[in-house]
């Protein structure tokens, strides 16, 4: 009897060890997604040789969004995270080079340079409060992207304008991948808004603050 019990215990131990060492094939496989500039012009643009140089600071994320985990909301103020779906990097870090790439297509600039850099610029774009979330507060679910932008005139050491940008896109399906598709559309729409606003501001157009949404007044930067 003791021999049979020992034999069964040894068999169970062998199965347990084999299970621990074998590759996982269950449904907990991690799915990883990217942000892309799909639909944005990719051809090189002729920059103005006498145009200003724009420096772009690293964007800062809203608290709770400094993570690769994909954020979703089922009720206001409560952030939740998908268990097996994630971004390839934190969204705010993917946002940064895409913004530089998008703005560099604007022929108004001689160059658009990410910071840190030793190149001297004429303007600096600071962005903070970045968030990207899928909201299941209605049907269909929606993806919301928000960021606060501030344009600084470096030669005059003044804040020209500040403005809040927000884009909402309906998801194509009620799952993480539907949210990813909506997020990529929202990012492109957000860059289009920022690009247009910057062009208006450096041209001193009234439309730079015409809608009043998040618009700030000119202010001197403290040394």
> Residue 7 has which token pair?
């034999």
- 100-109, 159-168, 182-191: least confident range: 100-109
Q: Is the pLDDT of residue 32 over 90?
A: yes
Angle at 52 between CA 118 and CA 149, to 5 degrees: 80
Q: pLDDT tens for residues 40-68?
A: 776 666 656 778 999 999 999 999 999 99
Measure CA 68 to chain center: 11
Q: What is the pTM of this model?
A: 0.79
CA atoms of 82 and 177, how far apart (whole Å): 11
> Residue 76 has which token pair?
């206001």
How many angstroms separate the Cα of 200 from the Cα of each of 108, 164, 174, 193? 10, 15, 38, 11
Q: Mean pLDDT across the chain, nearest whole number?
A: 84
The burial class, CB within 10 Å (0-12 / 13-18 / 19+), for 101 is: middle
Task: Compute how many other C-beta atoms are within 10 angstroms of the C-beta atom of residue 128.
Answer: 15
Kindly list the domain boundaries of the chain, sorted by start residue.
27-220
Which CATH code for domain 27-220? 3.40.50.10610
């Amino acid at each position: 009897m003791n021999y049979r019990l020992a034999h069964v215990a040894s068999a169970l131990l062998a199965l347990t060890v084999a299970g621990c060492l074998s590759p996982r094939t269950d449904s907990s496989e991690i799915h990883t997604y990217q942000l892309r500039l799909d639909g944005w012009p990719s051809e090189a643009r002729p920059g103005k040789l006498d145009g200003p140089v724009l420096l772009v600071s690293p964007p800062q994320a809203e608290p709770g969004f400094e993570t690769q985990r994909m954020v979703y909301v089922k009720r206001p103020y409560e952030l939740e995270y998908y268990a097996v779906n994630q971004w390839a990097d934190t969204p705010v870090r993917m946002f940064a080079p895409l913004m530089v790439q998008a703005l560099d297509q604007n022929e108004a600039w001689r160059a658009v340079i990410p910071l840190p850099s030793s190149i001297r610029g004429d303007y600096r774009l600071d962005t903070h409060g970045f968030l990207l979330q899928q909201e299941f507060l209605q049907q269909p679910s929606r993806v919301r992207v928000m960021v606060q932008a501030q344009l600084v005139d470096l030669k005059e050491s003044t804040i020209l304008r500040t403005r809040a940008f927000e884009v909402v896109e309906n998801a194509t399906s009620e799952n993480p991948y539907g949210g990813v598709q909506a997020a990529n559309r929202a990012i492109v729409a957000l860059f289009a808004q920022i690009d247009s606003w910057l062009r208006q501001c450096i041209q001193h157009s009234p439309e730079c603050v015409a809608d009043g949404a998040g618009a700030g007044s000119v202010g001197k930067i403290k040394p």
